[in-house]
Structure 1
Amino acid sequence: MTAARPQDGLGAAVLPHPDARLVIAGEAVGIGGDELINRITRTAVALSQLRPGPLFCGMRNNLASVLRYLAAWRCGRPIALLDPNLPAGTLADLARRFRPAVLLGFAHAPDGSPPARRDVPDPHPDLAVLLATSGSTGNPKLVRLSRTAVLANAQAIATALSITPGEIAPTSLPLHYSYGLSVLNSHLVAGASVMLTEAGLLERSFWTHLDAHRCTSLAAVPYQYEMLRRLRYDRSEHPTVTTLTQAGGRLSPELIAEFSKQADRFFVMYGQTEATARIAVLPPDRLAEKPGSVGVAVPGGRLEIEDGEVVYHGPNVMMGYAETAADLARGDDLGGALRTGDLGWLDSEGFLSITGRLKRIAKIFGVRVNLDDIERLLRDSGPVAATSGDDRVTVWAEGLDAAGCARLARRLGAELRVHWSGFDVRGIDRLPLLATGKIDYRALESRA
């Protein structure tokens, strides 16, 4: 059994802070103080009695999931926070590769117990949290996050966003997604409150509970801001919401201008799962004079540009990736330096602007997908190529008519569990090729 770790080891930071509270949507009384600690402790005792190895948690936006997460933190057991609706086959493959102690909270858990852990080393003692790099696409690696990284980023976000104990944030994003998890962590570290709801922005109950519990902020990705525009979001109808935050991809200048008027403070942010969550924050008072920028490095971090690539240095950088159970025993492979795979530049004040991607990774509605995985998935459909845009993926398919393109978009949405409208499938007579015979992606991007 992994030894308990009552001290978090980062200054006075504690997760959760003694003043932090969890509020269940629709319930009059929140959970905080001794009651919250006692419930975490009881859950931690149960988790401590499980066999060695990481815990796999289907992380929902509910009290049971959050208690498991905080209990794992308290008893020093690494926990993988995963999509609770992963297909049984995907979950079985992850279990085979990582040999978890237990599978908790999944809708489609495979039959039988997790594979035995014979000849598998125990996870590294610094390992705290595991997050998937690419949702349900392809063969996702897990990002290894240390206790120090999780606490450092939670504190940095709380500082950069000036989160005070009086703040209350709803779970408007999945908690198995690094942005959503960072909202939870930063508020709990600051002694603030989090309203737990599994309702989405399109559900009336979300807004009913947001108003009833007097939530003060709302976190969203670009696609959600498009939804809010269609919903005709009006701050006068939700007067307690004074702060809006955005990450998970590039938000159009038009939407930034529109929603910055809908709050006292509108934060544009940039981050990656590999940096626990957030790397840079644009202060609201610099929004107008720094159009297109994602801000400066979070407190404790530093940004550099090396050969056009954005490189981040900070205590919140991951220990490294893991593809098998043996990798979980590894220590810190990166030493606090993260090559982001994004292209960008820094102005004279250190404000970062992102200009493109070095790697073939895209985000659809805040969910990261690998473009090569998409092409492999569609190999049986004939020659295809995938390119990325703002919150969308364009798929170029040889010889498809409009009906065929629509079918392919819906297939991608169903298989990757992302709304089909995130895929712009276009028919093309012939894919452009380079002299080497490889697909000319630049030529396709110029036609997007």
Structure 2
Amino acid sequence: MTLLHPDARLIDAATGAELSGVPLREAVHAAVAGFAQLTPGVVFLRTPTTVEAIVRYLGAFEAGRPLALLDPGLPAETLADFVERFEPAAVCGPPLPPDAQPEGLKGYTRRDDEPWERGTELRERGTEPWERGTELWERDTPSSTVPHPELATLLATSGSTGDPKLVRLSRGAVLANTTSIIEALGISGEDVAVSSLPFYYSFGMSVLNTHFAAGATVVVEAGGLVARSFWPAVDRYQVTSLALVPSQYEMLRRLRFDPRRHPSLRTLTQAGGRLRTELVRDFHGRMASVGGRLFVMYGQTEAAPRLTTLPAGRLAEKLGSVGPAVPGGRLTVRLEDGTETTAPGVVGEVLYRGPNVMMGYAETAADLARGDERGGLLETGDLGHLDEEGYLFIDGRLKRFGKVFGVRLNLDDVERLAAATGPGAVAAVAGDDKVVVFVEGATVEQLATRVNELADRLKLHWSGFTMRGVPALPLLSNGKVDYRALESAR
């Protein structure tokens, strides 16, 4: 299987340029040829929301060249750390800021020639909208580490926070999850997706993979949901599906999203964290009113990245669930004594088995040579339970706990209860024998009332909790709550 179906289409919303059929294949083959001219090893692709970045990604996958998809906005010190530890053969992407070079790229030389010559020819013919200004830094001497032959994609585990680990995904894992999601969502050549998520984020990468492999269309619109150009592009190119994380659903609600204004849009998908039950019900109703669908999913980058999908037709009766395992996967719950069960209602750590599980993590270049260390088993670190049909309900994180007056509290439970006390997104972090809850857009008076209600629900004194109003929760580049920033502000 390949990610590039013959009927796949790629549209640049900014210019209206389209790549499909032979021109798209030629562009990808040009990228393949370009990678063949580079020093052997992993390539770091700083991945903006552009047609060029997608073509380079597809080219690397087709060429069997391991590629790390990175946030182009990574701080200079983080990028330098990654380069030092993982010794990439090349670093490619938009021009680096002055503070990122050359200090962060010692032992690398900027190439002023174009290794993708066929791409240059296509650009001159006007058949490929490659951007000018791409910068390529090539390693002067090859790394002593030879990447494992099955290694295909590397993704950072926490967006732009500089987490030291990269997830090692094999070609087989990426293709397995792509096939499963196409089946679970019923993606076909008639579908049109839009770039509502960064491509270096595993959910965004998955949208690319599934739509290209199904022979569908991807519209590249770099502005995001609040850009003036975004929704006109949705209508102009007849976008049928929109993939979003919880913070974006909060934003859509504030924007008073009405699917009747966008008649081509028939599918919403959600992953990247827990979506408040109120919003699940709300957006399910909005889409159902126009004959559309909402799919709630659960994923982790370590699973390339999706583990479950809740069928839209079962959402109302399974409210709160993230669905059964994707085709080819299996879920169990592990208890404290190490035993596993699929019995309904039993809470424990969620385990997933399937062909889409990562090979393992990488912290240094030497790790890139390692083979499969997981054997298809993913220990998710999430607490959850199954129902009688094998549908999964997530109950929290194993490590997301705080203490109030010596009582151990699941911070995800605190967030759910705090969200039920009033409007606005919430996030909870542990303090010194207390829990700090941040609430978007709440007044001082509202916070005073809500902290008492939260304490009552938990049957603890209100002084064990602090509620702080914030204009907006800090977010990582992938749209998830930046808990490290909140812990620093507590």
Using the size of structure 1 for normalisation, the TM-score is 0.80
Q: Indicate whether 1:142 and 2:170 are aligned.
A: no
Offset of residue 168 of structure 1:
0.4
Offset of residue 118 of structure 1:
6.0
| Residues 282-333 of structure 1, C-alpha deviations (whole Å, 9 max, x = no match) | 0011101111100000011111111111000111000000000010000000
Which amino acid in the other structure matches residue 73 of structure 2? N
Offset of residue 358 of structure 1:
1.1
The answer (yes or no) to whether the contact 2:35–2:60 under 8 Å persists in 1 is: yes
1:204-353 matches, cutoff 5 A: 204-263=228-287, 264-307=292-335, 308-353=348-393
Q: Indicate whether 1:99 and 2:73 are aligned.
A: no
Of 307-316 and 135-144, deviating more is 135-144
Report the secondary structure of 2:56's partner residue.
helix
Offset of residue 135 of structure 1:
1.7
* Structure 1 pair 238–414 and aligned structure 2 pair: CA distance change class (3 A): closer
The answer (yes or no) to whether the contact 1:395–1:426 under 8 Å persists in 2 is: no
| Number of aligned residue pairs | 391
Aligned to 1:36: 24
The answer (yes or no) to whether the contact 1:173–1:220 under 8 Å persists in 2 is: yes
Which amino acid in the other structure matches residue 261 of structure 1? G
| Residues 98-147 of structure 1, C-alpha deviations (whole Å, 9 max, x = no match) | 00011111544431444666662210000000000112224420000000
The answer (yes or no) to whether the contact 1:20–1:32 under 8 Å persists in 2 is: yes
Q: Indicate whether 1:174 and 2:165 are aligned.
A: no
Alpha-carbon separation, structure 2, partners of 1:87 and 1:418: 17
* Structure 1 pair 19–125 and aligned structure 2 pair: CA distance change class (3 A): same
1:99-178 matches, cutoff 5 A: 99-106=87-94, 107-108=96-97, 109-111=100-102, 112=105, 113-114=107-108, 120-178=144-202
Give the greater-gyration-radius structure (CA): 2
Q: 2:394 aligns with which of 351, 354, 358?
A: 354
Offset of residue 44 of structure 1:
1.3
Alpha-carbon separation, structure 2, partners of 1:26 and 1:269: 30
Which amino acid in the other structure matches residue 196 of structure 1? V
Alpha-carbon separation, structure 2, partners of 1:146 and 1:246: 24
Report the secondary structure of 2:379's partner residue.
strand
* Structure 1 pair 64–157 and aligned structure 2 pair: CA distance change class (3 A): same
Q: Indicate whether 1:16 and 2:8 are aligned.
A: no
Offset of residue 43 of structure 1:
1.4
The answer (yes or no) to whether the contact 2:248–2:479 under 8 Å persists in 1 is: no
The answer (yes or no) to whether the contact 1:397–1:425 under 8 Å persists in 2 is: no
Report the secondary structure of 2:327's partner residue.
coil
1:69-88 matches, cutoff 5 A: 69-88=57-76
Alpha-carbon separation, structure 2, partners of 1:140 and 1:426: 19
| Residues 139-162 of structure 1, C-alpha deviations (whole Å, 9 max, x = no match) | 420000000010111111111000
* Structure 1 pair 99–360 and aligned structure 2 pair: CA distance change class (3 A): farther
Alpha-carbon separation, structure 2, partners of 1:268 and 1:247: 6
What CA RMSD, in Å, does the superposition of the two structures yield over aligned residues?
3.2
Alpha-carbon separation, structure 1, partners of 2:7 and 2:398: 43
Alpha-carbon separation, structure 1, partners of 2:256 and 2:75: 35
Q: 2:431 aligns with which of 380, 396, 404?
A: 396
Of 18-27 and 274-283, deviating more is 18-27
Alpha-carbon separation, structure 1, partners of 2:154 and 2:202: 10
Aligned to 1:431: none
Report the secondary structure of 2:160's partner residue.
coil
Offset of residue 235 of structure 1:
0.8
| Residues 312-355 of structure 1, C-alpha deviations (whole Å, 9 max, x = no match) | 01110000000000100000000111000001111111100000
* Structure 1 pair 409–239 and aligned structure 2 pair: CA distance change class (3 A): closer
Query: Which stretches in structure 1 are left out of the alignment for 5+ residues?
Result: 1-12, 362-370, 372-385, 429-448
Alpha-carbon separation, structure 1, partners of 2:330 and 2:478: 35
Which amino acid in the other structure matches residue 216 of structure 2? A
Q: Indicate whether 1:54 and 2:54 are aligned.
A: no
Which amino acid in the other structure matches residue 57 of structure 1? L
* Structure 1 pair 142–415 and aligned structure 2 pair: CA distance change class (3 A): closer
The answer (yes or no) to whether the contact 1:406–1:425 under 8 Å persists in 2 is: no
Which amino acid in the other structure matches residue 429 of structure 2? T
* Structure 1 pair 319–409 and aligned structure 2 pair: CA distance change class (3 A): farther
Using the size of structure 2 for normalisation, the TM-score is 0.74
Offset of residue 28 of structure 1:
3.6
Aligned to 1:7: none
| Residues 150-177 of structure 1, C-alpha deviations (whole Å, 9 max, x = no match) | 0111111111000010100001011110
| Residues 352-378 of structure 1, C-alpha deviations (whole Å, 9 max, x = no match) | 0000111359xxxxxxxxx9xxxxxxx
Which amino acid in the other structure matches residue 70 of structure 2? L
Report the secondary structure of 2:168's partner residue.
strand
Which amino acid in the other structure matches residue 54 of structure 1? V
Aligned to 1:66: 54
